[in-house]
């Protein structure tokens, strides 16, 4: 029996280690199959002996329904933070801290350090408070509640696999975290949900305050930790020490802990987060700024509501409610006819919102959206706002009905899957205009001057009906367009002529194949080398291309099977388009393979910061991709290189602090 107990203890230790590697560090050392074999062995031994450790991975709750919630009184209050709505308010708060430290140091011999700050992201989820006992075992989890008393949710938190059930510390402590649904988890859940979630925050809150543990588990939550609210034994002298403790004990974090000393440094870091906000997989609604020195914190103390030593800089709101007035149906480049909601104007994230996307009829029915209803509207940076659902109230509403005919050309619509399509690709004005504008866009054939307004004028005045028609235009034709003078006409002709020499990948992207973007176009160029090879590629060959799955492969095959498409490509080539096709160069495949094998950037993550002398940012990113590298927007411990130019800021500093290799522009060019 004792031997089996020791075996159980060893298995629990190993499995918890493997879980941390997988869920927190993202560096698994064993396969899923190996983990499952050990887990099954542990289950069998526990069943045979009845010896079950409270921190065994088998004790992560995943099923069952609870009777209700018990109240829990936190050992230390969970304070809310005061808010700074703008930089002036933030600057005032920083100056108050500086005055306090100066005045204290003037009157006392035991001097306080100059104010220094840590910045963390303000997560938009549900705050939780976890208690670990003197044996390092998770014994309690509770919601924030009033800040003094919360609801016990220990079993719900145990379903979150990244949360450690046992830690190394042998001093009782409480740790604060934020439970969230990632955007990916939210979308995946809503694909099959009978009642779709309105947003990720409600999804997380509903998961932890749910008595059905299977439902909690289905929402696939994450919890990021950032603060120790209560701790027995040795106390932290700085917040930096607290961060080290949180990380060393294996608690998952988002990795964002930034140090700053001045208002300008803090402002720069806030601006970076506003810029990167939409790229994160989880929601944030601000940045938290706290003093580093704990003694200074203690002396500053608290107001009735907030600590004086911390503040939250709030971003512009990204969600609100307004009235849905009507629905407008629009034709896209692929012929898809999609609904757009016309809204009662409302301020959201610094702009007036009057329109929002609705995707398709299935989306409308799933969200139970109706004309006249109040709806939840969400906006992320410059992305068109989206309706998340309907507010249940007493508004008089009417159903949204799909159109039978194309709102532009009158052709009877066809339903394919969840979407409506106009199949009149040859003379449906919106389709043709958007196709040509895409073809002429900067990342495609780069014909400057072919705006949507200009192409629409060509459709009306010059009978423009297909892409190849633009290469037959003369100066006399262009002068017939309203408000087009000699110089403008000549500039447009020059741009059209210059577009005739193009990279193969740019041409593939310009053709507008459904689901084929810039990256896939580059991958097709790299794999096949010539336009002819791409056009004649088989399904199995296409599936060998990185990131091309069955749906994208079928889109490519269907596109090039069309006689009209092949006829149009022939017409374009006959107009003098010359493609830079790597496959026609001598020993292309061998040289490409050799270059890929020899580049020091193959498979490496690269961050660019600052202003370069010889590259635009996009050109440098493309160069890195051509060398097999992976451009990224932010620096982390997993970053391999940071290439920096003039006026490089916090990204360079972070790279240096993490020991990430940094390269000047000249050093980069020397390596390649």
Question: Which are the catalytic amino acids?
Answer: 122
Both tokens of residue 236?
């932290």
Helices (H), 50-112: 87-107
For the chain, state the CA radius of gyration. Answer: 30
- Contact status, residue 459 vs residue 432, Cβ threshold 8 Å: yes
Start-to-end Cα distance in the chain: 63
Query: DSSP letters of 211-239?
Result: SBHHHHHHT--EEEEEEEEEE-SSPPSBH
**Region at 195 (left for phi over 0; alpha for psi -120 to 50; beta for the rest):** beta
Q: Please name the residues in contact with 55: beta carbons below 8 A apart, sequence gap of 6 or more.
A: 12, 16, 137, 138, 165, 166
- Contact status, residue 324 vs residue 343, Cβ threshold 8 Å: yes
Residue 198: closest CA among 317, 351, 353, 369: 369
Question: Scanning the structure block, which residue is given the tokens 């976890």?
Answer: 130
At 103, give phi and psi (nearest 5°). Answer: -65, -40
Residue 496: closest CA among 526, 522, 464: 464
How far is it, in rounded angstroms, from Cα 343 to Cα 321?
10
Q: Please name the residues in contact with 127: beta carbons below 8 A apart, sequence gap of 6 or more.
A: 78, 143, 144, 176, 177, 178, 179
How far is it, in rounded angstroms, from Cα 303 to Cα 558?
66
The secondary structure element, H or E, covering residue 287 is strand 284-291
- Contact status, residue 46 vs residue 1, Cβ threshold 8 Å: no
Question: Scanning the structure block, which residue is given the tokens 């020899």?
Answer: 598
Both tokens of residue 139?
């014994």
Instruction: Report helix, strand or coil for 672.
Output: coil
301 to 54, 304, 309, 545: CA distances (angstroms): 38, 10, 7, 60
- Contact status, residue 287 vs residue 312, Cβ threshold 8 Å: yes
How far is it, in rounded angstroms, from Cα 140 to Cα 142?
7
How far is it, in rounded angstroms, from Cα 179 to Cα 153?
12
How far is it, in rounded angstroms, from Cα 558 to Cα 334?
13
Question: Scanning the structure block, which residue is given the tokens 């103390």?
Answer: 301
Residue 86: closest CA among 347, 313, 270: 313
How far is it, in rounded angstroms, from Cα 119 to Cα 343?
37
Both tokens of residue 162?
């990244």
How far is it, in rounded angstroms, from Cα 399 to Cα 362?
13
- Contact status, residue 45 vs residue 11, Cβ threshold 8 Å: yes
How far is it, in rounded angstroms, from Cα 28 to Cα 30?
6
Strand partners, 286: 122, 314
Compute the CA torsion angle 143, 147, 149, 151 (nearest 10 deg): -10
């Amino acid at each position: 029996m004792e031997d089996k107990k020791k075996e159980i203890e060893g298995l629990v230790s190993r499995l918890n280690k493997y879980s941390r590697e997988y869920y927190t560090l993202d560096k698994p050392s064993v396969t899923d199959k190996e983990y499952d074999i050990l887990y099954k062995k542990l289950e069998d031994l526990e069943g045979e002996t009845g010896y079950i450790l409270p921190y065994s991975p088998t004790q992560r709750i995943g099923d069952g329904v609870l009777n209700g919630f018990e109240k829990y009184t936190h050992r230390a209050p969970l304070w809310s933070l005061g808010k700074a709505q703008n930089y002036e308010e933030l600057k005032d708060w920083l100056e108050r801290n500086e005055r306090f430290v100066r005045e204290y140091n003037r009157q006392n011999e035991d001097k306080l350090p100059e104010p220094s700050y840590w910045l963390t992201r303000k997560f938009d989820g549900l705050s939780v408070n976890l208690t670990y006992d003197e044996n390092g075992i998770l014994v309690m989890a509770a919601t924030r509640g009033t800040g003094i008393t919360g609801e016990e949710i220990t079993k719900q938190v145990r379903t979150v696999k990244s949360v450690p059930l046992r830690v190394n510390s042998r001093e009782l402590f409480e740790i604060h975290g934020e439970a969230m649904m990632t955007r990916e988890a939210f979308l995946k859940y809503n694909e099959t949900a009978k009642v779709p979630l309105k947003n990720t925050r409600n999804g997380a809150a509903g998961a932890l305050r749910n008595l059905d543990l299977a439902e909690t588990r289905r929402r696939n939550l994450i919890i990021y930790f950032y603060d120790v609210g209560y701790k027995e034994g040795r106390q932290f002298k700085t917040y930096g020490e607290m961060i080290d403790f949180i990380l060393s004990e294996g608690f998952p974090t988002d990795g964002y802990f930034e140090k700053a000393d001045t208002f300008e440094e803090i402002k720069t870091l806030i601006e970076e987060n506003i810029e990167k906000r939409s790229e994160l997989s989880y929601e944030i609604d601000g940045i938290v700024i706290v003093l580093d020195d704990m003694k200074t914190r203690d002396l500053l103390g608290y107001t009735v509501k907030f600590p004086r030593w911390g503040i939250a800089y709030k971003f512009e709101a990204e969600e609100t409610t307004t009235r849905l007035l009507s629905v407008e149906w629009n034709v896209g480049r692929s012929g898809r006819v999609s609904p757009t909601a016309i809204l009662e104007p409302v301020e959201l994230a610094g702009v007036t919102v009057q329109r929002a996307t609705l995707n398709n009829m299935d989306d409308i029915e799933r969200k139970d959206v109706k004309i006249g209803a109040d709806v939840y509207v969400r906006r992320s940076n410059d992305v068109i706002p989206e309706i998340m659902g309907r507010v249940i109230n007493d508004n008089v509403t009417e159903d949204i009905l799909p159109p039978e005919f194309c709102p532009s050309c009158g052709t009877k619509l066809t339903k394919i899957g969840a979407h409506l399509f106009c199949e009149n690709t040859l003379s449906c004005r919106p389709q043709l205009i958007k196709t040509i504008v895409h073809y002429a866009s900067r990342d495609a054939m780069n014909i400057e001057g072919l705006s949507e307004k200009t192409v629409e004028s060509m459709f009306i005045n010059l009978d423009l009906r297909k892409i190849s028609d633009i290469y037959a235009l003369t100066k006399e034709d262009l002068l017939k367009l309203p408000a087009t003078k000699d110089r403008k006409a000549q500039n447009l002709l020059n741009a059209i002529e210059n577009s005739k020499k193009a990279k193969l990948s740019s041409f593939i992207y310009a053709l507008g194949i459904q689901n084929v973007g810039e990256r896939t176009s580059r991958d097709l160029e790299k794999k096949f080398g010539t336009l002819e090879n791409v056009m004649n590629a088989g399904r199995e060959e296409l599936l060998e291309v990185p990131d091309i799955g069955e749906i994208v492969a079928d889109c490519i095959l269907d596109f090039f099977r069309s006689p009209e498409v092949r006829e149009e490509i022939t017409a374009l080539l006959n107009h003098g388009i010359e493609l830079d096709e790597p496959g026609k160069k001598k020993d292309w495949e061998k040289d490409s393979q050799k270059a890929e094998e020899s580049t020091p950037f193959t498979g490496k993550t690269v961050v660019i910061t600052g202003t370069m002398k010889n590259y635009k940012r996009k050109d440098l990113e493309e160069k890195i991709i051509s060398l097999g590298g992976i451009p990224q927007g932010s620096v982390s411990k997993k970053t391999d290189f940071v290439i920096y130019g003039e006026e490089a800021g916090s990204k360079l500093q972070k790279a240096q602090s993490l020991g990430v290799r940094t390269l000047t522009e000249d050093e980069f060019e020397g390596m390649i």
